[in-house]
Structure 1
Amino acid sequence: MDQARTTISKIFNGEPHSYTRFNLTQNMEGDNSQVEMKLSSDMDEEVGENGVGDHSLNNSNRKPYVAQKLGRTPKNLCFMAATILLIFIIGYLIGYLVHRKKEVAPTCAASKLPFDVPVAHETGAAPLMDWDDVKKLLAEKLSPRNFDTAFSDLSSSNHQAGSLGDEVLGKIVHKKFKENGMNTWTDEHFIKVHDAPVSGFNKFTFKGERETQVQGFLSYSATKEVTGAILYAFYGQENDFRMLRDRNIDLSGRVILVRAGRISFAEKVANAAKMNASAVLIYPDRADYNIGESTQLYGHVHLGSGDPYTPGFPSFNHTQFPPVQSSGLPQIVAQTITEAMATNILKKLGGQIVPQEWGGVTKLGDETDVITLSVSNELTEKKINNVFGVIKGFVDSDRYVVIGAQRDAWGQGFATSTVGTSVLVELARSISEMVKNDGFKPRRSIVFASWSAGEYGSVGATEWLEGYLSSLSMKAFSYISLDRIVTGRTAFKVASSPLMYSVIKSALDEVKTQSSGATLMSQYGKGSWESNIMEPMKLDNAAFPFLAFSGIPSVSFRFTSSNSDYPYFGTMQDNRDRLNAATSNQVPQMAEAAARFAGHIALRLVHDHLLRLDLSKYDKIIRTRVAQINAKVKDVQRLKPDMLPRSLTMQWLISASGSYSRASRSLAADIQNSNLEDIEMCRVLNDRIMTVERNFLSPYVSPRESPFRHILVGSGSHTLQGLLNHLEALKSGKAEADLFRNQFALATWTIQGCANSLAGNIWALDNEI
Structure 2
Amino acid sequence: MDQARSTISKIFNGEPHSYTRFSLTQNMEGDNSQVEMKSPSDMDEEAGGNGVGDNLNHNSNRKPYLSQKLGRTPKNIFFIAAAILLIFIIGYLIGYLVTSCAASVLPFEDQPPPETNVIPLMDWGNVKLLLAQKVRADNFENVFRDFTFESHDAGSPGDVALANKVLNKFKSYSMNTWTDEHFVKFHDPPTDGYNIVTFKNGSAEHPRGFLSYSATGKVTGAVLYAHYGQEEDFMLLRDKNINLNGRVMLVRAGRNTFAEKVANAAKMNASAVLIYPDTVDYPFDSDMELFGHVHLGSGDPYTPGFPSFNHTQFPPVQSSGLPKILAQTITTRMAMEILRKLGGQNVPEAWGGVNRLGDESDHVTVEVNNILAEKKINNVFCVIKGLVDADRYLVIGAQRDAWGPGFATSTVGTSILVELARAISEMVQNDGFKPKRSIVFASWSAGEYGSIGATEWLEGYLSSLNMRAFSYINLDGVIAGQNGFKVAGSPLMYSLIESTLKEVNYPGQSMPLFSQFAQGNWEANILEKSLKMDNAAYPFLAFSGIPSVAFGFTSGNSVYPYFGTKLDTREKLNGFTSNQVPQLTETAARFAGHMALRLVHDHLLRMDVSKYDNIIRSNVAKINGKINSHRCKLKNPFGWFLCGLTVRWLISASGSYSRASRNLASDIQNSDLDDIEMCRIINDRIMTVERNFLSPYVSPIESPFRHILLGSGPHTLKALSNHLNAFRTDSPEEDINLFRNQFALATWTIQGCANSLAGNIWSLRNDI
Structure 2 length normalisation: TM-score?
A: 0.86
* Matching residue of 2:741: 742
Secondary structure of the 1:681 match is helix
Provide, for residues 587-643 of structure 1, a one-character-per-residue CA deviation record: whole Å limited to 9, x for no partner: 000000000000000000000000011111100100011000000111231432641
Rounded Cα–Cα distance in structure 1 between residues aligned with 2:95 and 2:514: 66
* Matching residue of 1:665: 662
| Residues 653 and 89 of structure 1, relative CA distance in 2, 3 Å threshold | farther
* Matching residue of 1:616: 610
Partner amino acid, structure 2, of 1:429: R
1:716 and 2:709 aligned: no
Q: CA deviation at 1:199?
A: 1.0
Secondary structure of the 1:213 match is coil
Q: CA deviation at 1:256?
A: 0.3
* Matching residue of 1:300: 293
* Matching residue of 1:433: 426
* Matching residue of 2:446: 453
* Matching residue of 1:340: 333
Provide, for residues 505-560 of structure 1, a one-character-per-residue CA deviation record: whole Å limited to 9, x for no partner: 11111111341121111111121011110012111122100000000000000111
1:761 and 2:755 aligned: no
Rounded Cα–Cα distance in structure 2 between residues aligned with 1:533 and 1:631: 29
1:156 and 2:149 aligned: yes
Partner amino acid, structure 2, of 1:542: A
Q: CA deviation at 1:86?
A: 11
* Matching residue of 2:221: 228
Q: Quick one: which of 551, 555, 558 aligns to 2:549?
A: 555
| Residues 427 and 357 of structure 1, relative CA distance in 2, 3 Å threshold | same
Rounded Cα–Cα distance in structure 2 between residues aligned with 1:383 and 1:656: 46
Secondary structure of the 1:356 match is coil
| Residues 522 and 88 of structure 1, relative CA distance in 2, 3 Å threshold | farther
Q: Quick one: which of 471, 474, 489 aligns to 1:478?
A: 471
RMSD over equivalenced CA pairs, Å? 2.1
User: 8 Å contact 1:636–1:730 — kept in the other structure?
Assistant: no
Rounded Cα–Cα distance in structure 1 between residues aligned with 2:384 and 2:102: 41
Provide, for residues 223-257 of structure 1, a one-character-per-residue CA deviation record: whole Å limited to 9, x for no partner: 10000000000011111111111111111110000
Q: CA deviation at 1:94?
A: 2.8
Q: Quick one: which of 579, 588, 592 aligns to 1:585?
A: 579
1:689 and 2:686 aligned: yes
Over 6 Å off, 4+ runs = 83-90
Q: Quick one: which of 630, 634, 641 aligns to 1:640?
A: 634
* Matching residue of 1:651: 648
* Matching residue of 2:188: 195
Q: Structure 1, unaligned stretches of length 5 or more?
A: 7-82, 103-119
| Residues 675 and 195 of structure 1, relative CA distance in 2, 3 Å threshold | same
Rounded Cα–Cα distance in structure 1 between residues aligned with 2:261 and 2:515: 37
Q: CA deviation at 1:135?
A: 0.2
1:169 and 2:179 aligned: no
Task: Summarize the alignment of residues 530-541 of structure 1 with structure 2, pairs less than 5 Å apart.
Answer: 530-535=523-528, 536-541=530-535
Task: Summarize the alignment of residues 726-737 of structure 1 with structure 2, pairs less than 5 Å apart.
Answer: 726-734=723-731, 735-737=734-736
Secondary structure of the 1:295 match is coil
Rounded Cα–Cα distance in structure 1 between residues aligned with 2:326 and 2:99: 87
* Matching residue of 2:377: 384
Provide, for residues 39-92 of structure 1, a one-character-per-residue CA deviation record: whole Å limited to 9, x for no partner: xxxxxxxxxxxxxxxxxxxxxxxxxxxxxxxxxxxxxxxxxxxx9999878646
User: 8 Å contact 1:406–1:421 — kept in the other structure?
Assistant: yes
* Matching residue of 2:15: none
Rounded Cα–Cα distance in structure 1 between residues aligned with 2:215 and 2:185: 14
Rounded Cα–Cα distance in structure 2 between residues aligned with 1:355 and 1:96: 90
Rounded Cα–Cα distance in structure 2 between residues aligned with 1:488 and 1:126: 41
Partner amino acid, structure 2, of 1:749: W
Rounded Cα–Cα distance in structure 1 between residues aligned with 2:552 and 2:94: 73
Q: Number of residue pairs matched?
A: 673
* Matching residue of 2:503: 510
Rounded Cα–Cα distance in structure 1 between residues aligned with 2:517 and 2:346: 41
Secondary structure of the 1:310 match is coil
Secondary structure of the 2:359 match is coil
Q: CA deviation at 1:459?
A: 0.2
Q: Quick one: which of 713, 722, 725 aligns to 1:725?
A: 722
User: 8 Å contact 2:627–2:642 — kept in the other structure?
Assistant: no
User: 8 Å contact 1:124–1:677 — kept in the other structure?
Assistant: no
Rounded Cα–Cα distance in structure 1 between residues aligned with 2:99 and 2:680: 37
* Matching residue of 1:564: 558
User: 8 Å contact 1:122–1:678 — kept in the other structure?
Assistant: no
User: 8 Å contact 2:685–2:756 — kept in the other structure?
Assistant: yes
Partner amino acid, structure 2, of 1:459: I
Rounded Cα–Cα distance in structure 2 between residues aligned with 1:514 and 1:560: 14
User: 8 Å contact 2:118–2:674 — kept in the other structure?
Assistant: no
Q: CA deviation at 1:493?
A: 0.4
* Matching residue of 2:695: 698
Rounded Cα–Cα distance in structure 2 between residues aligned with 1:606 and 1:97: 39
Partner amino acid, structure 2, of 1:171: N
User: 8 Å contact 1:639–1:731 — kept in the other structure?
Assistant: no
Rounded Cα–Cα distance in structure 2 between residues aligned with 1:260 and 1:445: 40
| Residues 627 and 594 of structure 1, relative CA distance in 2, 3 Å threshold | same
Secondary structure of the 2:510 match is coil
Structure 1 length normalisation: TM-score?
A: 0.85
* Matching residue of 1:127: 120
Partner amino acid, structure 2, of 1:615: V
User: 8 Å contact 1:266–1:302 — kept in the other structure?
Assistant: yes
Identity of aligned residues (%): 67
Task: Summarize the alignment of residues 91-106 of structure 1 with structure 2, pairs less than 5 Å apart.
Answer: 91=101, 94-95=104-105
Rounded Cα–Cα distance in structure 2 between residues aligned with 1:645 and 1:210: 57
